Amino acid sequence: MKKSLVALIVVAVSGTTAAVAGTAAAQERPAPAVVRAAPAPVAAAPAAEAADKGLTYAQSGQVVTVKKGRTRVATVTLTSAKYAAKSASAVLTVKADRPFTIDPALFTVYDLEGWENDPAQTKPVRFGAGTGTLKLTFPKTHARPMALGWVPQLDREAAAVWER
């Protein structure tokens, strides 16, 4: 039994020495970098389409407020308009509370003879949350331009009319 007790003590002392040596070696090596998984990306809110039947429009002067229910989606403000004898241009500021898409083809310049004139821009413009600018040009009107109108929902009345 003495031999087995001595062998046990030798093994225990050897293990302690190895553990201390391992600790000293670990202190000399830099600690491995902690790798953390990146948080899953949050899906961006889908853009509200100006033609969405769930949206409502309220014009007050130069500003049109767009809402879905009681939540504001965006404001569209006529910043400037220039009218020539047979052409027009307009700059609108869009302040979107969430992504918002506007189809420029749904803007119209009404002229003195009652014609409705289309803009040169025809591709929908997507605005991210924040402030952006929409520039419209009406290069050829039939008669003198008198007002700018916006009818984003084709089966409803104009959401806005900005008179000259």
Residue 83 DSSP one-character state: E
Q: Is 85 domain-assigned?
A: yes
Q: Taking a C-beta distance cutoff of 8 angstroms, is the pair 120, 132 a contact?
A: no
| CA distance linking residue 131 with residue 114, whole number of Å | 33
Q: What is residue 46's predicted lDDT score, i.e. its pLDDT?
A: 82
For the chain, the residue count is: 164
| CA distance linking residue 75 with residue 124, whole number of Å | 17
Q: What is residue 40's predicted lDDT score, i.e. its pLDDT?
A: 55
Q: Is 96 domain-assigned?
A: yes
| CA distance linking residue 145 with residue 85, whole number of Å | 7
Q: Is 143 domain-assigned?
A: yes
Q: What is residue 9's predicted lDDT score, i.e. its pLDDT?
A: 42
Q: Is the pLDDT of residue 6 over 50?
A: no
Q: Enumerate residues 6+ apart whose C-beta is below 8 A from 122.
A: 104, 105
Q: Which amino acid is at 17?
A: T
Q: Is 122 domain-assigned?
A: yes
Q: Is 34 domain-assigned?
A: no
- Render pLDDT for 21-53 as a digit per residue (tens, 0 to 9): 455 554 566 555 555 655 655 556 688 999 999
Domain around 136:
49-163
- Render pLDDT for 119-152 as a digit per residue (tens, 0 to 9): 999 999 999 999 999 999 999 999 999 999 999 9
Which CATH number do you get for residue 130?
2.60.40.1240
| CA distance linking residue 45 with residue 128, whole number of Å | 10
Q: What is residue 91's predicted lDDT score, i.e. its pLDDT?
A: 98
Total structural domains within the chain: 1
- Render pLDDT for 48-59 as a digit per residue (tens, 0 to 9): 999 999 999 999
- Render pLDDT for 56-104 as a digit per residue (tens, 0 to 9): 999 999 999 999 999 999 999 999 999 999 999 999 999 999 999 999 9
Q: What is residue 127's predicted lDDT score, i.e. its pLDDT?
A: 97
Q: Is 32 domain-assigned?
A: no
Q: Is 10 domain-assigned?
A: no
